Amino acid sequence: MPFGSDRNLEEVIGTFQITMHQERFIQPVPFPVDERFRQRLEFLRENAPVSASEAAICEFMIAPILQEVWVPYSDALMIWSHVSLSLDDKVEGFPDYFFARRSPLGPIRDKPYVLFVEAKRDDFDAAWGQCLAAMLAAQKLNRQPEGKILGSVSNGRVWYFGHLIGTEFVQDPREFTINELGELLAALSDVLGQAREQVLLATAA
């Protein structure tokens, strides 16, 4: 299933026979908010042409937040932006961002563990369909069907999180918003911490 197809979450679940339920699995990890970062993000929100295009939302709102949280986890994870994550002709495409294991061979793509998809036109259902398809592809690429793959969808202001283990897809029902920046960064810190744990488990296997 191409990630960019217009299939919604229900269609992806039906196609791949995934079970889904909601559960509060995010355990926010306190993350200090750098005041300079807060001010820069506020400046971008007020001055950058965020509403001009979908790409602008990624560039001015989503990417800075991911970069900020990534730093403490960069020993194990590498961030990738708008590059191909494909399995075959049936499952291929371009998630907006993903975090993969930092390869010992250098800056080359390795096993992906967290995927981010922008909710274009605020269509979170379509974004979740695209994200779950990407998570399924990551699961197969990693050859760890029982390993945890994490995913998130966001319109730049509101963020939601989910994870996939085997054929079970779990969504955290809570929304995290840019207006509560500390809580959002803490949630993302937990997500990257879980991803780093998956990297360590895979390395030890």
Q: Are 13 and 33 in contact (CB under 8 A)?
A: no
Per-residue pLDDT tens over the stretch 89-135 = 555 556 899 999 999 898 888 999 999 999 999 999 999 999 999 99
The pLDDT, as a whole number, for residue 43 is 94
CB atoms under 10 Å from CB of 154, counted, come to 28
Cα separation, 68 vs 60, whole angstroms: 13
**pLDDT of 2 higher than 70:** no
Strand partners, 19: 168
**pLDDT of 33 higher than 80:** yes
Listed by start position, the domains of the chain span 9-32+62-204
The pLDDT, as a whole number, for residue 204 is 77
* Residue of higher predicted confidence among 8 and 4: 8
Global confidence as pTM: 0.93
Q: Are 135 and 161 in contact (CB under 8 A)?
A: no
